[in-house]
């Protein structure tokens, strides 16, 4: 660890998480928004389902770690929701097992510390036509995956219902993304994974939860202190030649001024 110690946010999930640092992804955007305020740690594993995540959750989040995360954002469900393969192999997890796996993951994360907060992301929608078109581009990697928007909705609703039951914050990505009229053409890179436009929706929803949650301390970016934000004679000199300009809070480099 390097110091001073900042709040630690961990993104835990499948490819929606692993790829979130690519092409203006939502993970990279969060890291930018929280620069000098919190450290964003990526723990994403492409192709994983809730069953595999549960097998290693104790290793990813050991209870005896000297520093526990302030926030864990969890996403599993899309791979679980694909239809079962005749071989018995593959990522499919039956809905009842998916619910119990996510429950156990939440229980473990809650046990890390009294200050560890959790947000579950529900299964986003998919563009089935785009998935089929992407198969040729990716050499048929998705050819055996029966992934439908209807199944995504079932797993999304199950995740949200579980979160209401166990008092975990949840974001309904299946509904949030479909609020855009052009969601099918703008939200994905391949019908499954999120484009920069799709990622913007995820960031907006996460920031909304963090702003509204009655957590102490508040984890919204505007509420967290900026590291080494005091004025300094080493700062750039102002136009009057007598004062300096403190750049610690400036966000002029961002295309979107996040709330």
Residue 190 is a catalytic residue: yes
For residue 9, give the nearest of 224, 259, 249 by alpha carbon.
224
Residue 259 is a catalytic residue: no
Cβ 172 vs Cβ 125: under 8 Å: no
For residue 44, the cross-strand partners are 13
Query: What are 140-143's contacts with CB under 8 Å, separation 24+?
Result: 142/192
Separation of alpha carbons 167 and 155, rounded Å? 18
Q: Select which of 14, 15, 20, 122 is catalytic.
A: 14
Q: How many residues does the chain have?
A: 259
Residue 193 is a catalytic residue: yes
Distances from the Cα of 152 to the Cα of 111, 175, 188, 229, 253, angstroms: 29, 11, 15, 44, 36
Q: What are phi and psi of 186, to 5 degrees?
A: -110, -15
Q: Select which of 80, 187, 190, 220 is catalytic.
A: 190
Separation of alpha carbons 52 and 72, rounded Å? 18
Q: Select which of 20, 193, 199, 220 is catalytic.
A: 193
Active site residues: 14, 190, 193
């Amino acid at each position: 660890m390097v110091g001073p110690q900042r709040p630690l946010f961990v993104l835990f999930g499948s490819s929606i998480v692993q790829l979130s640092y690519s092409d203006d992804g939502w993970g990279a955007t969060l890291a930018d928004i929280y620069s000098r305020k919190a450290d964003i740690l990526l723990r994403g594993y492409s192709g994983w389902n809730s069953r595999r995540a549960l097998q290693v959750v104790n290793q990813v989040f050991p209870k005896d770690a000297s520093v526990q995360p302030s926030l864990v954002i969890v996403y599993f469900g899309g791979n679980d929701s694909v239809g079962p393969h005749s071989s018995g192999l593959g990522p499919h997890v039956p809905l009842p097992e998916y619910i119990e796996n996510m429950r156990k993951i939440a229980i473990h994360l809650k046990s890390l510390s009294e200050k560890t907060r959790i947000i579950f992301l529900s299964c986003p929608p998919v563009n089935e036509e785009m998935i089929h078109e992407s198969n040729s581009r990716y050499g048929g990697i998705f050819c055996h995956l029966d992934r439908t928007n209807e199944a995504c909705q079932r797993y999304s609703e199950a995740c949200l219902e579980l979160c209401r039951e166990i008092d975990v914050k949840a974001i309904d990505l299946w509904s949030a993304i479909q609020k855009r009229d052009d969601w099918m053409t703008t939200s994905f890179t391949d019908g499954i994974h999120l484009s920069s436009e799709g990622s913007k929706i995820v960031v907006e929803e996460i920031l909304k939860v963090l702003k509204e949650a009655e957590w102490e301390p508040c984890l919204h970016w505007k509420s967290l202190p900026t590291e080494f934000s005091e004025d300094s004679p080493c700062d750039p000199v102002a136009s009057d030649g007598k004062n300096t300009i403190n750049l610690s809070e400036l966000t002029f480099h961002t295309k979107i001024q996040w709330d």
